Structure 1
Amino acid sequence: MNILVQGAGALGAYFGGRLLESGQNVSFFVREKRAAQLIKEGLKINSPEGNFESKDVTVYTSPEQVKNIDLVILAVKGYHLDQVIPQVQAIVQQTGACVLPLLNGMEHLERLQEAVGKEKVIGGFASIIATLNAQGHVEHTSGGSAIKFGVLHNEQTEICEQLEEIHHHVKANLLREENILKHMWKKYIFITALSGITSAMQLPAGFIASTEATFTVAKKVIYEMSMLAKQEGISLAEQEVEMMANNLKGFKKDATSSMHQDMRKGLPLEVEHLHGGALRLAVKNHVTVPVIETLYGILKPYENGNPNLR
């Protein structure tokens, strides 16, 4: 399988690197600055799952350069979606590739389906705690990593089967799920609570459980998001919701969300993609989500980076 990873931040570089390590034909579509860094530094992963380094990385910076691709793994932040959709369109038109987006949230699915066709957009998401260091190398700090994916259209069955077969050769979990939309919603629910509370606290995830008041706020986000999921046709059992809430207590003291990591670096935040998306769903379904709305208001000034540094 010929795989193009679009975006080589921590997420794209990690999973692209693991696929490259397993012998897959992997290339990267990135911006000029990141392309220069990858060419100079190579791709390097520091991880408890095993380190990996490659100095021979194929990178593209314009859609016209991309040929003979079966799958595009879209690994960009939500706030880059508007910018990358024309690029994805061009690549899919040239190659006929399917697209596996690993973005958080749900709104991007419809946007991409409108751009390239429902038959081309596979459902999926990623789970990992990682960041890039100053050299652009991946620092993977959690003990595991996974991409979950699944068919959203009958024409995707073959490509999903091929991706499933790769799983045993990759030092990351590539897990095919039958009800991928439900799994995507569970990730969206959890990450909206985790990223919102850690960024609002400006403290690592280990502090969520340090006071009952803080945990209560995070738990209410879980419940508000679960209500939105139900409004969108995704039914979660009460014990599933409780388990997600209780999982917020299970982080090591220094572990944190990618949004909080970005906030500490003064980088843009996915607040519009996550919390803003939830608010739009609430309006659509004529319900209120006051805790999410409060977190959105707190974090919105940081959307384009630390306002004190602009």
Structure 2
Amino acid sequence: MITALCVALGSMEFPACATLTNGGRFVKVLIVGAGATGGYFGLRLAQAGRDVTFLVRPKRAAALRERGLRLVGLGHEEVVTPQLVTAAELDTQYDVVLLSVKATGLSQAMDDLAPAIGPTTVIVPFLNGMAHLDLLNERFGKEAVLGGVVKVVTSLNADGDIVQSAPLATFELGEQEGGTSARTKELTALLDVPGYEFAVNHAIVPAMWHKWVFIASVGAVTCLMGGTVGEVVAAGGSSFSRAVVAEAAAVSAAAGFPVPDVTPIETAVTQAGSSLTSSLYRDMTAGHSTEGEQILGDLVDRALRHDLATPLLNAARLRLRVHEQQRA
């Protein structure tokens, strides 16, 4: 009963909720970035009465103060008034840091969030690929960093609102070494709220690799062919798409994380009529900078270390490098 009231009213309006959200050592949450992904999960946490602050750039802070943090799409509109802080203002340590920035902005984000890291702070990254894990471990210590996998179909519109275009929303975290721990149980009490499916994954690093295989495959197919999955299939590209998946899965297997079943990924990239694209494709077609080196380039580099040939992934990487040169 109390839990339901907490979700409905928030901890500031119902004092008993303080016991639920403040009973453990994890209370204060800093979300680095309030974009389509970090903004979505942060909004859900704020709605559940969690003590959430967003670390954002001054321009984003101004927009959020004016409009609030808004979620639209799927026939609904929701808004919260977020707690905000900029890098110049950050002077408080937090219990949990959810890191939701593009991989291209990771270096700056680590500098910005450094004042928030205390001796027991836990960092959960939402980034794509795997290179960020090594960088975070080196900067803040492996003990402070968990693995994380989130899936949500959202984007930002021209007003800076979060647009959700499909109901999928999941959040998994886990210890890099696998298994269970007392802190992941405590984090469940803090982070498991309505609005998404939450789970502690006891094999989070393999899960991160397998997500990487998926996003690299979709990204390579759509960027290299210049269209949606459905358009590629309609042009006779199904065998090409399966070959891309095979290359990406081979790299994961060589690294020690074989994909148990590639069928769902193959199905995703060969579905007739599918409007599926990727963030790489959307950024490329919009003329924005992409995460091409972090998602495709790093995968190709790791393939070379294992003497694997990945001509299709390499071609997609080259396509995005040309895009970046054109932008410059």
State TM-score, norm by structure 1: 0.89
The superposition leaves residues 27-74 of structure 1 with CA deviations (integer Å, 9 ceiling, x where unpaired) of 1011111111111111000143853201x2111111652424111111
The superposition leaves residues 203-232 of structure 1 with CA deviations (integer Å, 9 ceiling, x where unpaired) of 2233243233x2222222211111111221
* Alignment partners' CA distance in 2, 1:170 and 1:159: 21
Structure richer in strand, relative to its length:
2
3-state SS of paired residue (1:144)? strand
CA positional deviation for 1:297: 0.8
Q: Which residue is equivalent to 1:67?
A: 92
| 1:170 equivalent in alignment to 2:194 | yes
The superposition leaves residues 84-106 of structure 1 with CA deviations (integer Å, 9 ceiling, x where unpaired) of 2222333214x641110011101
Seen in structure 2, the aligned counterparts of structure 1 residues 23 and 260 have a Cα distance that, compared at 3 Å, is same
Q: Which has the larger radius of gyration?
A: 2
Residue type of the alignment partner of 1:200: L
Q: CA contact under 8 A between 1:37 and 1:136: conserved in structure 2?
A: yes
The superposition leaves residues 2-42 of structure 1 with CA deviations (integer Å, 9 ceiling, x where unpaired) of 21110111111111111111211111011111111111111
Two-structure CA RMSD over aligned residues (Å):
2.3
3-state SS of paired residue (1:244)? helix
In structure 2, the gaps of 5 or more residues are 1-26
The superposition leaves residues 135-155 of structure 1 with CA deviations (integer Å, 9 ceiling, x where unpaired) of 110001112111221112589
* Alignment partners' CA distance in 2, 1:125 and 1:259: 18
3-state SS of paired residue (1:203)? coil
Seen in structure 2, the aligned counterparts of structure 1 residues 230 and 69 have a Cα distance that, compared at 3 Å, is same
Q: Which residue is equivalent to 2:43?
A: 17
> Greater shift after overlay, 84-93 or 118-127?
84-93
State TM-score, norm by structure 2: 0.85
Q: CA contact under 8 A between 1:199 and 1:260: conserved in structure 2?
A: yes
* Alignment partners' CA distance in 1, 2:296 and 2:202: 27
Count of aligned pairs between the two proteins:
302
In structure 1, the gaps of 5 or more residues are none
* Alignment partners' CA distance in 2, 1:154 and 1:185: 14
Q: CA contact under 8 A between 2:180 and 2:202: conserved in structure 1?
A: no
Q: Which residue is equivalent to 1:31?
A: 57
Identity %: 26
* Alignment partners' CA distance in 2, 1:44 and 1:87: 24
| 1:294 equivalent in alignment to 2:297 | no
The superposition leaves residues 178-237 of structure 1 with CA deviations (integer Å, 9 ceiling, x where unpaired) of 11111111100010011222223332233243233x222222221111111122111233
The superposition leaves residues 249-269 of structure 1 with CA deviations (integer Å, 9 ceiling, x where unpaired) of 348643422222222322111
| 1:43 equivalent in alignment to 2:69 | yes
Q: Which residue is equivalent to 2:141?
A: 117
Q: CA contact under 8 A between 1:4 and 1:73: conserved in structure 2?
A: yes
Q: Which residue is equivalent to 2:249?
A: 226
The superposition leaves residues 130-178 of structure 1 with CA deviations (integer Å, 9 ceiling, x where unpaired) of 1101111000111211122111258983332233235653211122211
* Alignment partners' CA distance in 2, 1:14 and 1:115: 27
Structure richer in helix, relative to its length:
1
Residue type of the alignment partner of 1:15: F
CA positional deviation for 1:298: 1.2
> Greater shift after overlay, 257-266 or 188-197?
257-266
Residue type of the alignment partner of 1:17: L
* Alignment partners' CA distance in 2, 1:158 and 1:47: 37
Q: CA contact under 8 A between 1:60 and 1:66: conserved in structure 2?
A: no
Residue type of the alignment partner of 1:301: V
* Alignment partners' CA distance in 2, 1:38 and 1:209: 40
Q: Which residue is equivalent to 2:183?
A: 159
